[in-house]
Chain A
Amino acid sequence: MEYQVSSLGGAQKRSSKNNERRRMLSDAFWGYFFILPQIVGLIVFALYPLVSVFVYSVNNWDGLGPMSFVGLQNYVDQFNSPDLHTALINTLYYTVLTVPGGLIISLLVALGLNNVRGKTVYRVIYFMPVVTSSVAIAVMWGWLLNTDFGLINVMLKHWFHITGPGWLTDSHYVIPAIAMLSIWGGLGFNMIIFLAGLQGIPVGYAEAARIDGANRFQLFWRITLPMLTPTIFFTTVLSVITSFQVFDQTFVLTGGGPGKDSYTIVYHIYHLGFETSQFGSASSAAVILFFILLALTLGQLWFQRRWVTYDV
């Protein structure tokens, strides 16, 4: 009797253990089943290319013949390449113009739109360029910025009697011109993020401050702006990354010109890899771009604690 009972207990234990095992096996099966397509994608289109690009970058390769190992020579060449220097300076200049300008304007628009009647209509209009393809935007602005017949120079001439510059043909104006159309194109996206951030600020703080007699500007500097710093941080990081990757506009509008005055880092990668089949050099340039972006992002993460308020 006793024996039977104990054996029964053992069997139960064993069967519950078996159940546990079966459940784990089934979970493992279904887990892998559900992630299978994406894991194939991860390996083929992310991990393998990630390893490959580093391999390519230490080889000379025209894409067809055999690779020849050259060590860090491609990197040395890139660091000494005048083209990369030009591209870096142009991209940096473009970023310095686009990011602060774009963020300040879109923040102002978002502040204006927050709690205003007719918000929906304004929002639809300001957001329009975000759904428009970058190529179409470039084509549109190419006409607006035309030296002799573009709307901007024609208006400058007839209304202000100023002879407008050759926006896309003068080396001093080409980057500011492209920055201008990028700010116009990206404003709607940042505005939407800022609006969402503004909606997230509890009304109580502003009310309390108003009762204490704070005016609009005090309200903005002391309440709204500090509460918005996480959103500002997020949009800054994102804007820096996207403006470092600028390509479409310069490719369509100027082809990197005049001369190399709007030649950017991604254009450099495109030129090396896809126009001249120097896949080794192109890969090393891509790796350099990656490390620049990584450093910029980490730098911003590091500095954020100086100015971003998270404790509410």
Chain B
Amino acid sequence: MLQEVNAETAGISTASQRKAKTGNQKRKTGDRVFTIILHILLSIGALIMVSPFIWMVLTSLKDTSQAFSDPPTWIPNPFVWSNYPDSFNALPFNLAYFNSIYIAVIVVACQLLTCSMAGYAFARINFPGRNLVFVLFLATMMIPFQLTIIPIFITMRNLGWLDSHLALIVPPALFSAFGVFLMRQFVMGIPPELEEAAIVDGANRWTIYLRVILPLLRAPLSALGIFSFLGQWNSFFIPLIMLNTSEKFTVPLMLSQFRGQYATEWTMVMAGAVIAVLPVLIVYIIAQRHIIQGIAMTGLKS
């Protein structure tokens, strides 16, 4: 009797085990099919994402008859390299590169310094009016730049800075509400004990900022740096209204002018676009992890 029961329960348990096993297997093959379909879909998506870049490069290596042939020529035959020297000769892209790089570097360096300084003060120092001023900074984050750009343009004109790089450098170098906010959030996260030892040793605030705070802000500073470098590098509206002389143009502005001048010469326009895009993409692919994490970090904090 007892044995029977035992056998019965044993039978039940093995049956249920078997059932679970086949269920697991089913789930496993289901998972595999699902993963394969997922990879196919993601690859199609990836192809859609890269094909405009690839088509740009391919077109830049064709001559006009290949570019406009019907049916289309996929791979250039022969490879035509002359579009590149031609576009460099047509407009001073090398100057544009120099301008874009040095403007972005100065802006980023100034922003990192001034934003981390202000962030430290807002997070750690009790000074009169601190909360009011901080609220003002927060409030300006909600303002679209189109609202203030007209008076800023007039200010730049009154200062005589129109058609000069100062108009592109000084405003973002001195003011970034977002950067201040970001830095404050990160300074708040630093344990105060780390500063206390320095305070007991009689260090002043500047020394503490320089020796204790700044080294601990390396990650958020590089995130802000990447974020604002990209912003500066790709900025179009502000250079468009501030600059007139092509020698002073930044890369996007030069590309826009180039496209306007050679509207129908697509092979040359594509060569210009490659010149404008490729160096950034190379840097991006080398440093992709830092760049993506930096953007995610700054994006989430806002």
Contacts and interface: CB of A to CB of B under 8 A. Distances in A.
Interface residues of B, number: 97
A72 interface: no
B277 A136 contact: yes
Interface stretch (B13-21, B66-74, B215-223): B66-74
Interface in A286-309: 286-287, 289-290, 293-294, 297
Contacts of A248: 236-237, 252
A143 B230 contact: no
A136 B118 contact: no
A52 B146 CA distance: 13
B114 A37 contact: yes
B103 interface: no
B155 interface: yes
Contact of A38 (B45, B72, B115, B295): B115
Contacts of A179: none
Interface stretch (A1-9, A76-84, A85-93, A108-116): A108-116
Contact of B150 (A53, A140, A148): A53
Contacts of B143: 46, 50, 290
A216 B149 CA distance: 49
A209 interface: no
A97 to B, nearest CB: 17
Interface stretch (A170-178, A188-196, A221-229): A188-196
B266 A46 contact: no
A252 B67 CA distance: 21
A116 B42 CA distance: 10
Task: Say what secondary structure dominates the interface of chain B.
Answer: helix
Contacts of B48: 184
B39 A116 contact: yes
B273 A140 contact: yes
B266 A286 contact: no
A251 B260 CA distance: 11
Interface of A is mostly: helix
A131 B280 contact: yes
Interface stretch (B3-11, B77-85, B121-129, B189-197): B121-129
Contacts of B127: 27-28, 30-32
Contacts of B266: 143, 146, 149
Interface centre among A30, A40, A120, A151 (most CB of B within 10 A): A30
A47 interface: yes
Given A31-B130, A189-B299, A193-B299, 8 more contacts: A32-B127, A35-B117, A38-B180, A44-B175, A126-B46, A144-B52, A192-B296, A252-B259
19 contacts: A27-B125, A28-B128, A34-B120, A37-B174, A41-B171, A45-B148, A47-B140, A49-B149, A49-B150, A50-B143, A52-B154, A53-B150, A120-B289, A125-B50, A135-B255, A144-B52, A196-B300, A274-B153, A283-B150
Interface of B: 34-35, 38-39, 41-42, 45-46, 48-53, 55-56, 59, 67-68, 70-72, 110, 113-115, 117-118, 120-122, 125-128, 130, 133, 136-137, 140, 142-144, 146-155, 157, 171, 173-177, 180, 204-206, 209, 230, 233-234, 236-237, 240-241, 251-253, 255-256, 259, 266, 269-270, 272-273, 276-277, 280-281, 284-285, 288-289, 291-292, 295-296, 299-300
Interface of A: 24, 26-28, 30-35, 37-42, 44-50, 52-53, 56, 63, 109, 112-113, 116, 118, 120, 122-137, 139-144, 146, 148-149, 151, 154, 158, 184, 187-189, 192-193, 195-196, 216, 241, 245, 247-248, 251-252, 266, 269-270, 273-274, 279, 282-283, 286-287, 289-290, 293-294, 297
